[in-house]
Amino acid sequence: MLIKFITKSIRPLGMFSIFIFAAWCILGSTLIRDMDEDSILSKFLQYTISFENRFYDYRMKSQLDPKFKSKEIVLVKIDDYSLEKIGMWPIPRSEHAKMIRQLNNFGAKVVALDIMYPEASPVCGPQSPDDDLAKAFKDFQKDDRRVFLGYSLTSNPEEGLKEAPTEMLNDAIMTQSVPNVDMIPQMINRFTFPIEKFVTTEAGLASISSREDSDGIFRLYQFITNIDTIYYGSLGLNSYKAYVKDMNEIKISSDATGELVINGKTLEISNTGETKLRYIGSEAQFLDVSLYDLLVAAPDDAKMKELLNNKIIFVGSTAQGAHDLRPSPIDAKMPGVYGHMNLTHMLLHQYFYQNINESVKYSLYILFLGMLFFLIVQRYGNAFLDALVIVTLLLISRYVDSTYFLPHGYELKLFYCFFCFIASYSWNTFILFYEANKEKKQIKGTFARYVAPTIVDEMLKDPEKLHVGGTKKEITCLFSDVRDFTSISEGMSATELAHSLNMYMGKMTDIVFDTKGTLDKYIGDAIVAFWGAPLEIGNHAQYAVEGAIRMMEALPSINEEFRRLNRPEFKVGIGLNSGECSVGNMGSDRIFSYTALGDNMNLGARLESLCKHYGAQILISEYTLSRIDTANIKYRPIDKVIVKGKTTPVEIFEVLHNAHPMFKDTEGFNFFVTAHKLFMQKDFKGASDIFTQLLMVFTDDKPTKRLNDLCKKYLEQPELINDQFDVTKMTEK
C-alpha cells in the first residue's frame, strides 16, 4: 500500500518537474539577459544552454548548402602556400602595398583587412614601407572606394586609448546614445590600434574583436561598440556600409536590448553590442585567392578581374601557424576572417535570425503539445504505444525544424524538448516497472447513489481516490437553505414532508449536475454543492452562478405543485463564494465522503444565512463576482460585511433572476445602482431621495429600505460617519 502511494505520487510529480525544468531552460535564453553573470543560477543556466547550443550547431551545420557561393565577397587568404612563397613572417608591408595596388587594378570596391598595424615597420632604406602602404591606401580610395583597418577592444583603462581619434567619426554608426539602449561602453586597445600614418590616410577603422561563448565556441559577433557614447561598427558592418553606400538604412531602435533596422528588417543586438552570427559557411561557401597568386598576377589577368571586380575583399590569415583559427558552430578550426565575411553576407541578404522570443514561443509550443500528446497516450498503459509516440514526436519535431524553422532563422530549443520527451518516457517506464497490478473495483453501483456521476467516474479511473485525504483546489461553493423549514415541517405529516423535500431536492440536485457541479451533502433541508472539483470545468464560478439562477427560476414551478397539493411553499436563500479549498475524501478509512473544507466554504455558508438578514435570494461574494462574465448576469451591490469570526470586510452582491422585482424594471434597477454610488460617496441626502422614491414602487425591497435607513441615520448623526461607515459587522452566524 505504501509503495503504491509513493509511486502514484512520484510519477506525475517527476514528469511535471521534468516539464518545468525543460520549459525553464527554454526561457533561459531570454531570462539570462537579466541575471547576474556570477550567480549560481546564471552559471547553471549557461551550462545547460551550452548543450542546446551544440545541438543547434549540429542542426544548423547540416543545413549548409555545399554548392552555395557568395557572389559579393571574396577572401584574399594569407595561407601556408603564400607564406612559403614569400618566405617571410610577418609579411613585409611592401607586399601589403603591392596587394592593395593589385586589388585596385582589378576593380575591388571594398577592402577589409583583418590585420593589425600597431607598430611602424623597420626602415632599411631611404623610404619606409609604411609610406608606400599609406600611399596605396590613399590611391585605392580616390574613386569612392574604401579600405578598412582593424583594431581590437578592451575594458581595461590601462590598455585603452583615452579617446577615439576624430578620424573614426567618418564611419560612426551613431554619434550619440540611443534612449533606452544602455550599451556597455568599451575602449580601443592602444596596443593594436593602427599607427597614425595609416589613420591619416582616411582609411576606415573597424573593430575585429570577438568573444567566445561559455563552451568556447564563437557564435557571437561584436557588431557595434559603444566608445564614449558614440557607436562604431565592426569590420563586417563597416564593409557592408561602404559597399551599399547607404548610410541611412541602418538604424538602432530604442528596444530594451537594442535592434538594428536594415531595410525594414531587424537584427537583435545585446547590451554589449553583439549579435549572433547566422553562418552560411566558410571555405566552401566563399570564393578566395591566395595572396601570392594575387601578387604575381599579370595586370591584365582576366580571371582575376572577373573574381575581384566590384567585390568586397577580405584579407585574412588561414595559415595553420598564424594563430587565428577559432572553433565555430560549423568548423572546429575556422579562420577568424570568415566570421566577418559571414556577418557581411548576413547584412547584404538580411539573412537574420528571428526574434529570440518568437523562437522561444514555438519551442514552448512544441514542448507543451508534445508532452500533452504523450500524457494522453501514456494513460492507455501500453508500453509499445508509449515508445512509438516518443519516437514519432522526435522525428516530427526534427522534420518540422529542418524543413521550416531552421531555413527561416528560428532557433528552436529542440534539445530541451527532446530531453523532456525522452526523460519523461524513461521516468514513466521506470515508475510503472515498480507499480503493483492496478486494482479496480466496480463501485459505481454503490457510490452513484450518493455522489455525482463525475466523481464516480474519477474513482473508477483511479481507485486510489478512495483513500482519505484532500487536495487544494479553487472552487465555487453553494449553500442553499429553505426559509422557516421548521414551521413548514410542523404543518405536514412525515410522508408529505418527505415527498415535498424529495421533490425540491431532486430538482435542485439535477440542476447542480446539469451545470457540471458536484453535490457535497444534504443537511436537512439545506443543499451544499461546489463547482470546479473533482474535474476542471473552466470558469467554475460562472457555472455556479448560472446554477443558482436556474434553481431560483425552477422554484416557482415547484411551489405551484405544492399549492396544488395544498402544501406550504418553499422560500429559499442561496449563498455562493469562490476560493481555494481542500477537496477530497474526508472521514475515516472505512467511512468517508467526498467533500470540500476550508475558510472559503465557511464564508459561503455565512452568505446563505445573510440572505434572510438582507432580504435577498442569491448572495455572492466579491471573489465570485470577479471570476464571472457579467454580460448576461444582472446583479446589484448590497453591503460590505464582516462575518462573525472575521476581521476583514467582504463586499457582497445580490444576483437577480427573472422572478425578482427589479430584474425587468431596468429603470428601477439603475436608480438603485445610482443611489448606492451616492451612498458610497457619502452623499446621503441624494441617495436617500432616490431610495425613498424606490420604496414607493418596491415597498418590500429590504436592501433599499436598509440603505435608506442608514442614509437618514448618518444625516441625523454625522458623528457616526467613519472610515467603515459602509461596513456591517455581524455578531452572529
Q: What is the pLDDT of residues 219-234, one digit of tens each?
A: 889 988 888 888 888 9
Which of 42-51, 148-157, 403-412 shows the lowest mean pLDDT across its residues?
Answer: 42-51
Instruction: Report the sign of the C-alpha dihedral through residues 105, 106, 109, 115, in that order.
Output: negative
Q: Which amino acid is at 436?
A: A
Task: Examine residue 661 and say whether the peptide bond preceding it is cis (omega within 30 degrees of 0).
Answer: no
Which of 385-389, 424-428, 505-509 shows the lowest mean pLDDT across its residues?
Answer: 424-428
Residues 344 and 362 grouped into a single domain: no
Which of 162-166, 472-476, 698-702 shows the lowest mean pLDDT across its residues?
Answer: 162-166
Measured CA to CA, the distance from residue 246 to residue 260 in angstroms comes to 14
pLDDT band, residue 253 (cuts 50/70/90): low
Asked whether residue 124 carries a pLDDT value surpassing 80, the answer given is no
User: What would the pLDDT profile of 487-537 be if each residue is shown by its tens digit?
Assistant: 888 888 889 999 999 999 999 999 998 898 888 888 989 999 999 888 788
Residues 313 and 180 grouped into a single domain: yes
Q: What CATH number should be reported for the domain holding residue 542? A: 3.30.70.1230
Residues 654 and 696 grouped into a single domain: no
Structure-model confidence comparison of residues 195 and 592, the more confident one: 195
- Give a yes or no: residue 733 inside a domain: no
Instruction: Examine the fold and report which residue of 287, 317, 349 is the final residue of a domain before the chain moves on.
Output: 349
HEC per residue, 280-343: CCCHHHCEEEEHHHHHHCCCCCHHHHHHHCCCEEEEEECCHHHCCEECCCCCCCEECHHHHHHH
- Give a yes or no: residue 496 inside a domain: yes
Reported residue count of the chain is: 733
Pair 222, 153: CB distance under 8 Å: yes
Closest by alpha carbon to 202, among 169, 250, 237? Answer: 169
User: What would the pLDDT profile of 167-206 be if each residue is shown by its tens digit?
Assistant: 888 878 765 555 555 678 889 998 999 988 999 898 999 9
pLDDT band, residue 556 (cuts 50/70/90): very high
Residues 708 and 603 grouped into a single domain: no
Name 672's Cβ contacts closer than 8 Å, sequence gap at least 6: 636, 662, 690, 691, 694, 703, 704
Buried b (16+ CB within 10 A) or exposed e, 438-458: eeeeeeeeebeeebbebbbeb
Question: Which pLDDT value is given to residue 125?
Answer: 65
Residues 275 and 413 grouped into a single domain: no
End-to-end Cα separation, the chain, in angstroms: 43
Residues 454 and 394 grouped into a single domain: no
Structure-model confidence comparison of residues 357 and 124, the more confident one: 357
Domain residue limits at 480: 444-659
Instruction: Report the sign of the C-alpha dihedral through residues 278, 281, 283, 288, in that order.
Output: negative
DSSP string, 93-159: HHHHHHHHHHHHHTT-SEEEE-----SPPPP-SSS-HHHHHHHHHHHHGGGS-EEEEEE-EES-TTT
Residues 13 and 155 grouped into a single domain: no
Asked whether residue 712 carries a pLDDT value surpassing 90, the answer given is yes
Question: Which pLDDT value is given to residue 436?
Answer: 42
Asked whether residue 150 carries a pLDDT value surpassing 70, the answer given is yes
Question: Which pLDDT value is given to residue 459?
Answer: 60
Share of the chain above pLDDT 90, in %: 44
Can you tell me the mean pLDDT for 42-47?
A: 74
Residues 310 and 457 grouped into a single domain: no
Structure-model confidence comparison of residues 564 and 44, the more confident one: 564
Q: Which amino acid is at 404?
A: Y
- Give a yes or no: residue 665 inside a domain: no
Which of 8-12, 156-160, 271-275 shows the lowest mean pLDDT across its residues?
Answer: 8-12
Structure-model confidence comparison of residues 711 and 450, the more confident one: 711
pLDDT band, residue 594 (cuts 50/70/90): confident
Residues 208 and 296 grouped into a single domain: yes
- Give a yes or no: residue 144 inside a domain: yes
Residues 525 and 381 grouped into a single domain: no
Asked whether residue 568 carries a pLDDT value surpassing 50, the answer given is yes
Instruction: Examine the fold and report which residue of 601, 627, 659 is the final residue of a domain before the chain moves on.
Output: 659
Question: Which pLDDT value is given to residue 224?
Answer: 87
Residues 29 and 115 grouped into a single domain: no
- Give a yes or no: residue 666 inside a domain: no
Total domains in the chain come to 4
- Give a yes or no: residue 508 inside a domain: yes
Question: Which pLDDT value is given to residue 261?
Answer: 58
Measured CA to CA, the distance from residue 336 to residue 339 in angstroms comes to 6
Question: Which pLDDT value is given to residue 225?
Answer: 87
Instruction: Examine the fold and report which residue of 413, 434, 455 is the final residue of a domain before the chain moves on.
Output: 434
- Give a yes or no: residue 439 inside a domain: no
Greatest CA span in the chain, whole angstroms?
Answer: 132
- Give a yes or no: residue 664 inside a domain: no
Measured CA to CA, the distance from residue 665 to residue 649 in angstroms comes to 30
Residues 25 and 148 grouped into a single domain: no
Asked whether residue 664 carries a pLDDT value surpassing 60, the answer given is yes
Structure-model confidence comparison of residues 667 and 180, the more confident one: 667
By CB neighbour count within 10 A (0-12 exposed, 13-18 middle, 19+ buried), where does 706 fall? middle
Can you tell me the mean pLDDT for 391-413?
A: 91
pLDDT band, residue 433 (cuts 50/70/90): low
Q: Which amino acid is at 305?
A: K
**Over the chain, what is the mean pLDDT?**
85
